[in-house]
Amino acid sequence: MDNPSQHAASMIDPTLLARVVKGDQQAFSQLYDHSSTLLFTLAVRILGNHEEAAELLQDVYLEVWRKVSRYDVGRGTPVAWLVTLTKSRAIDRLRARASRGYRGTNSLEAGTAVQVADPGPSPFEMQADQELRIAVGAAVAGLPQAQQQAIELAYYEGLSHAEIAERLNQPLGTVKTRIKLGMSKLRDGLQQWWNHGELQ
């Protein structure tokens, strides 16, 4: 643990995942340490409760370990792959829950509550993550409220633009435009991070 960025989620080395694929237990343990806080945060935001988020993380990591889902360098950074995988599984759960007629505590309020209950920097949140976190936070906060809301409804609640339009009682075109503009602003605001090779 001599390298301060070893636990940074944003700095997960693709070779670590390669070792996990080979069944390296230590690499798997490291992968967990690097990424679990970020993935758990995401799962809690989507599912709205800690128990289900923990269950989901268990599924995701075991899926990685058992190579049901495999990382491919071509698909982007390891963390992007893990985030996509977690988000996708969480949204699946959310939809399964909705089809069972259960409406859990998941809502923007739940997300807000998570944001308010700031546990402070975790030991796994190293400087590289902190800087990126600040940059992403600033980029998201810099969006107009309507754009931010539309993106969050799609991203964290898995709603399609048509569903968002219905939820917000806005014309479909307006919602699409908000998402496009918002995503475009975020890309412009964060482009420096991958241009600098931080995330490659």
Partner 1 sequence: MTHDELEESVPLYAAGALDRIERQALEAHLLSGCASCHNALKDYQSVAALLPLSLSPTKPPRSLKATIMAGRNPAPIPAEAVPNEPARPSLEPGEWMNHLFPPVAPARSLSLPWALGLATLLIVSLGVYFAWNVSTQRSIDTSNIKQLEASLQEKSAKLADVRREVGDQAKALAELRNEIQQRTKEAAEAKEQLAQREAELEETRVQLIEAELEETRVRLSQRGSARTVGTPQDELATLLRIPNVKAVSLAGSDMAKRAAGFLLYDSRTQNVWLYSLNLPESPAGTTYQLWAIHDKPMSIGTFQMDTGETAHLLVKKVPSFTKAKTFAVSLEPSGGRPQPTGPMYLLSRS
Structural contact between residues 60 and 39, judged by C-beta atoms closer than 8 angstroms: yes
Kindly indicate which of the ranges 11-19, 102-110, 172-180 contains the residues binding partner 1, using the contact rule CB under 8 A.
172-180
Q: Residues 10, 132: contact at Cβ < 8 Å?
A: yes
Min separation Cβ 141 and partner 1, Å: 8
Decide if residue 115 touches partner 1 (CB under 8 A). Answer: yes
Question: What sign does the CA torsion over 151, 155, 161, 162 have?
Answer: negative
| DSSP state at residue 5 | G
67 contacts partner 1 (rule: CB under 8 A): yes
Q: 10, 30, 106, 149: which one contacts partner 1 (CB under 8 A)?
A: 10
d(CA 6, CA 34) in angstroms, rounded, equals 7
Instruction: State both tokens at 52.
Output: 């289900």
Residues binding partner 1: number (CB under 8 A): 90
Binder to partner 1 among 18, 49, 98, 125 (CB under 8 A)?
Answer: 125
Of 68 and 103, nearer to partner 1 (C-beta) is 68
User: In the numeric block, which tokens belong to residue 99?
Assistant: 């089809």
For the record, the structure tokens of 122 come out as 């975790």
CB of 174 to partner 1, least distance (A): 13
* Span interacting with partner 1, options 11-19, 89-97, 99-107, rule CB under 8 A: 89-97
Restricting to residues 28-57, name those near partner 1 by CB under 8 A: 28-29, 32-33, 36-42, 44-45, 50, 53-54, 57
Residue 13 structure tokens: 């080395």
